[in-house]
Amino acid sequence: MEIQQGDQLRVAAKHHIESFNYLYTHGLIEICRHLSPIEVCVPGNRDIRLPFKNMKIWIEELQIGMPTQQGMLGDNRVLPTQCRQMKKSYTAPMLATICREIDDNPKETVRLSLGEIPILVKSQKCHLNGLSAEELVQQQEDCNEFGGYFIINGNEKIIRMLIIQKRNYPIAFKRPGYKNKGFNFSPFAVQMKCVRSDQYARTITLHYLMDGNVYLRIILKKKELQMPVIILLRALTDMNDYQIYQQIVRSQADKSDISDRVEVMIADAKSRGINTQKDALEYIGRLLRVELNIFNPETTDLQVGRIFLREHICVHLENDQDKASILLLCIEKLYALFIDEINPDNLDSLVNQEVLLSGHLYTAYLREKLEDLLVGVREKILKDASKEQSKLKDLAYFKRCFDLQTTVGEKLENFLATGNLRSQTGLDLMEASGFTIIADKLNNMRFLSHFRSVHRGSYFAQMKTTTVRKLLPDVWGFVCPVHTPDGGPCGLLNHITMSCVPLTHPDEQDVEELLFPLGVQSQRLIYSKNDLPVVLNGKLIGYLNSSLLPTFEHTLRVYKSNGTIKETTEVACLPRQENKSPLFPGIYINTTVARLMRPVINLKLNTIEWISPLEQINMSIACTQADIRTDTQYQEIDPAYILSILASNVPFLNYNQSPRNMYQCQMAKQTMGSPCHNYPYRFDNKMYRILFPQKPVVRCFGYDDYQFADYASGTNAIVAVISYTGYDMEDAMILCKSSYERGFGHGIIYKSSEYSLNEDKEVKYKLLSQIPIQLYNQIKAQVPVNLLPYGLPEQSQVVTKGSAVLALYDSQLQQVKVYHSKDSETARIEQVAVVNKSENDVSVMIKYRINRNPIIGDKFSSRHGQKGVMSLLWPQIDMPFSESGMVPDIIINPHAFPSRMTIGMLIESMAAKANVLQGEMFETHPFQNYENDNVVDYFGKQLIKHGYNYHGNETLYSGIYGTPLKVDIYFGVVYYQRLRHMVSDKSQARSMGPVDVLTQQPIKGRKKGGGIRLGEMERDALIAHGVAYCINDRLLKCSDYSETYICDKCGNMLATYQFVQLLSLENIQSVQSSHPYCVRCKQAKCSKVAIPFVLRYLVNELAAMNVKLEFSVAR
């Protein structure tokens, strides 16, 4: 797992790619091996006649091809850049070998296509896999393209990593809500998420009942099923009562707390008449036949019971005896929790968690959709049994049944496009939405962070408790303590550290054979109290005496270092404590996927060792050399490895207040940068680009390794910390006008529009260059003059709102169809492309370039969370200047520092100033120890060496009066970023505009020309200022002002009408003498009043509920 210097960017998304490669190398084979055949027979509850007794259907082989386009001559490859431009999905064909067996006849095989399934960019089946930087450029890709995402309808989508429960590991906990699960239930439970090699998962939960019994609960097709665990133990093994008793009690018969409860369990089975393995299996079969959808009358209850045990109980194990052993261990752990021998496990701790990688989720979803496909074919055959009996055995009919089903590829593409999980089982997950996100390329840091983020899940985002959001010590070195957003997702959306690696493939070495020579004893009937269970990948393989534990652990660590076993093998030794153990004692060895691992230095062996969160809790790890004690076993490779990639690029972050580092991690992802290098080949909906970017003078650890220099997103600015002119209050900043004119902060936005030539799958429009010349001569006068003769816009052409941008020929109306720009901003045509998606699917893509130079109100930020808006462009002649004639680019207020304590920004100013004077770049390191542990002294001496003040202060002269300012000013160089938050995108104002049909109030929404809501708190502020007419203007005149009549007698608003008597044309003058009239009182004495229209709406709504409002009018 060694990574070469400079290769970090290419492997930043490696876990996404490798997890998807798992589908090719392991997943497809395991799906075919474990997917149960579907039987087509006459159900016992349906009156159907079939021309056969039984038809068995199964999938024998699955294959995924390479992305290609059918019908193309020559090179028929489909490349990711083509899919982006054509707004298509990057897919490859999936082929399946389907077998069927009718009664005792020989099996028949057909080869079918299951549709086009989405392919991960740079995975094994992608055409970009293994290409060098030069070859990537030839394929119109970025030279540093690292893949790891899907392309769905032209958009780059990512399946984000989810934190889920650790697989094949029993977790004991208390939950008060479990008391409501049934009679006598207690809060105590042990839960184990069992995951098979094809990523099929089933969670089993053992509940402790107050009478000592234990019930097992599983979710079967989103329904809860409860059953005494003793029935399952009887069904899994032929052990007698004494053997079961001894397995749980384990030479602790003197402890009545345990022995009495085991006797209650055994007695429960006796009371149900279950004495043998056959009795238990038949009992389960009778109980669950309907829930398992097994209607074949020839399938006995005994067989149904075995199917249930195979598909739903401890699915990660294939042997029934192994399943019984791990259930007995779970019962033992549950009893230990109840009698307070161990502490409850924390479900929110990373010790009990792992990550669900994109490829593994994709594999699990694909497996379920293949199962749904077979079930759909069975239902189709049963449906057609009454009318097409003669064809049911026909192989062509069998193929047609598959063709009529929704393809697997369409279901997978819908999942990636929406992020919604349409599943009957839920894949044993707690949420059903929010699995995918758009990998927007605002800048390279943001794009990279998507691949390193881990989310707790949308289910937890709705919880009111903060428990799941807390930063626990267990995440040290695995999850960054800094890089999490503020606000709603805080603590739920985290990022893994630089050194953390999620495992994508299982370790296939046979570890079990190496354990028995080290003292592990196979399972016996009676064990010593000092024996520790040894669990390998959720399988209990034996017991080890506690006295042998140190030697056993040391030997396995030596095996990891010398390559006898895989270096990523997890060896977690949880020893037994004297009084109360914090965790259930045992030795847990794991070689499965989805574990988080990180490297540390093993001081005893002097090697690099990979450890997991479960191993880490019992290790003594020194952070630095000075922290090493006599009992220290390990040392961190680098203290900076506890940070994420973005957090490690905050200079001098250990001198800042922690929230400011969090803000910088967020603002780095909101910076206008250089997101890519292949601009001419991308037609993104919206893309930001900073002009004239610079590399920072003070760069951070890993800056070059992740190629951030190739995607610079800021400018080195000369900053003066001074209160000047008053335009720098409240985080406002003054920008030198000459710096602005030299290009400081200049940027552009690319926007793309697609104009399709098709409508309802028919070619309705044609390019003017495609129609006959005679016809063109007849209609060319209809082409706007600002377009080229054949209706396309010219490159660099200026476009304003309403300008013609495209002219096409409408073949139905036989006239020219002109499209106009709808954007209110002035833009230029950057690029025009005619995209042929297929023979009858053609589109015109137009990319616009919009200048976005800084204006008042645009947002800037340093790399320390010091954000501010530009308040003024100040002429250079009026700016303060130093003795050497240097004029600051930016002026910020000194009040930005005391409360925020961003000392790192002050140090960066000194460091950059010192190194600019030396003509060098400076690389800093998080937690770097400078001479005498005094960073100010380190850079202060360098400044003195060049003739400057020790602390970086300088005497500045007023740009207006030319006199020296009375105090020295902090003056240095700071790297500033321009954020995407711009006034041009957010300014909103209206006088008249669209209103809501129901309430007649202005609608909301900037794009719709709506208004800004003046809410209750704004109203209170206006009342406090006493501006009565302003309140009346805002809340009435500019909102839903209306006039109506109210009857003076009855006070009714709804019964009054404007009465007009118009009998003939001669009596037309009566219109002028119209008058209000109350229908209820039959009189015309009504008063005209001004009211908000919403009041009339309220009166109507109340009248519909037989509530009448009466108004009295004061004159």
Average pLDDT score over residue span 202-216: 94
Using alpha carbons, select from 873, 876, 870, 886 the residue that is nearest to residue 972.
886
**What is the per-residue pLDDT for 4?**
43
* Residue 1067: predicted pLDDT: 54
Q: Quote the percentage of the chain above a pLDDT of 90.
A: 72
pLDDT at 933: 82
User: Which residue from 168, 118, 195 is spatially nearest to 413, judged by alpha carbons?
Assistant: 118
Tokens of 180: 């409501």
Burial 346-372 (b: 16+ CB within 10 A, else e): bebbbbbbbbbbbbbbbbbbbbbbbbb
Query: Which pLDDT does position 2 carry in this prediction?
Result: 46
Here the tokens at position 702 are: 């890993």
881 DSSP β-pair partners: 957
631, amino acid identity: D
Strand, coil or helix: 904 = helix
Neighbouring C-beta atoms of residue 165, cutoff 10 Å: 19
Where is pLDDT greater, at 598 or 523? 598
Instruction: Give the CATH class of 988-1039.
Output: alpha beta
Q: What is the CATH number of domain 169-342?
A: 3.90.1110.10
- Please determine, looking at this structure, whether the domain spanning 501-642 carries the CATH number 3.90.1070.20: yes
Query: Nearest to residue 939, comparing CAs of 922, 927, 956?
Result: 922
Question: Strand, helix or coil at 705?
Answer: coil
pLDDT attached to residue 761: 63
The pLDDT of residue 1002 is 92
The two tokens of residue 439 are 């990998």
Fold (CATH) for 748-851: OB fold (Dihydrolipoamide Acetyltransferase, E2P) (2.40.50)
Domain at 1041-1115: CATH code? 3.90.1800.10
Helical residues (DSSP H) of 604-723, grouped into ranges: 613-616, 658-668
| Residue 661 phi, psi (nearest 5) | -65, -35
Mean pLDDT of 67-82: 83
- Give 769-783 pLDDT, tens digit per residue: 889 999 999 898 999
Residue 1065, pLDDT score? 55
One-character DSSP codes across 1020-1081 = HHHHHHT-HHHHHIIIIITTTEEEEEEETTT--SSSEEEE----SGGGGGGGTT-EEEETTT
Q: pLDDT tens digits for 5-39? A: 446 888 889 999 999 999 999 999 999 999 999 98
Q: Evaluate whether 1011 touches 990 at the Cβ level (below 8 Å).
A: yes
Strand spans (E) along 691-746: 698-700, 715-721, 732-736
Rounded alpha-carbon distances, angstroms, from residue 409 to 79, 90, 99, 429, 696: 18, 11, 20, 22, 46
pLDDT score of 244: 83
Rounded mean pLDDT, 693-705: 92
Is pLDDT of 1090 > 90? yes
The Cα 93–Cα 118 span in angstroms is 9
pLDDT digits (tens, 9 = 90+) for 965-983: 999 999 999 999 999 999 9
Q: Residue 697 half-sphere exposure, CB side, CA atoms within 13 Å?
A: 23
Q: Are 979 and 860 in contact (CB under 8 A)?
A: yes
Is the model's pLDDT at 838 over the cut of 90?
no
The dihedral of CA 159, 163, 165, 168: what is its sign? positive
pLDDT at 526 over 60: no
Mean residue pLDDT across the chain: 91
- Could you give the percent of the chain with pLDDT greater than 70? 96
pLDDT score recorded for residue 5: 42
pLDDT confidence bin for 3, thresholds 50/70/90? very low
* pLDDT tier, 1061 (very low <50, low <70, confident <90, very high otherwise): low
Residue 45 has pLDDT above 80, yes or no: no
Query: 988-1039 and 1041-1115: same fold?
Result: yes
Reply yes or no on whether the pLDDT at 103 is more than 90: no
**How far is CA 276 from its chain centroid?**
49
Report whether pLDDT(73) > 70.
no
Contacts of 292 (CB under 8 A, 6+ apart): 220, 304, 307, 308
pTM for this prediction? 0.92
Separation between Cα atoms, residue 754 and residue 751, nearest integer Å = 10
User: DSSP 3-state assignment of 847?
Assistant: strand
Of the options 3.40.50.970, 2.40.270.10, 2.30.30.170, 3.40.640.10, the CATH number for the domain spanning 647-674+692-745+855-978 = 2.40.270.10
Least confident of 12-26, 82-96, 232-246: 232-246
Q: Answer for the pair 231, 284: CB distance below 8 angstroms, yes or no.
A: yes
Where are the domains positioned within the chain? 169-342, 501-642, 647-674+692-745+855-978, 748-851, 988-1039, 1041-1115
Query: Terminal CA-to-CA distance of the chain, rounded, Å?
Result: 88
**Residue 413: how many CB atoms within 10 A of its CB?**
20
Three-state SS for 242-296 is HHHHHHHHCCCCCCHHHHHHHHHHHHHHHHCCCCCHHHHHHHHHHHHCCCCCCCC
| pLDDT tens track for 980-1028 | 999 998 888 888 889 999 999 999 888 888 888 888 999 999 999 999 9
Does the structure show a pLDDT above 70 at 363?
Answer: yes
Sign for the CA dihedral angle at 469, 475, 478, 482 comes to positive
Burial of residue 255 (number of CB atoms within 10 Å: 0-12, 13-18, 19+): middle
DSSP label at 466?
A: S
Q: What is the mean pLDDT of residues 642-657?
A: 94
Beta pairing class for 1086-1092 and 621-622: unpaired
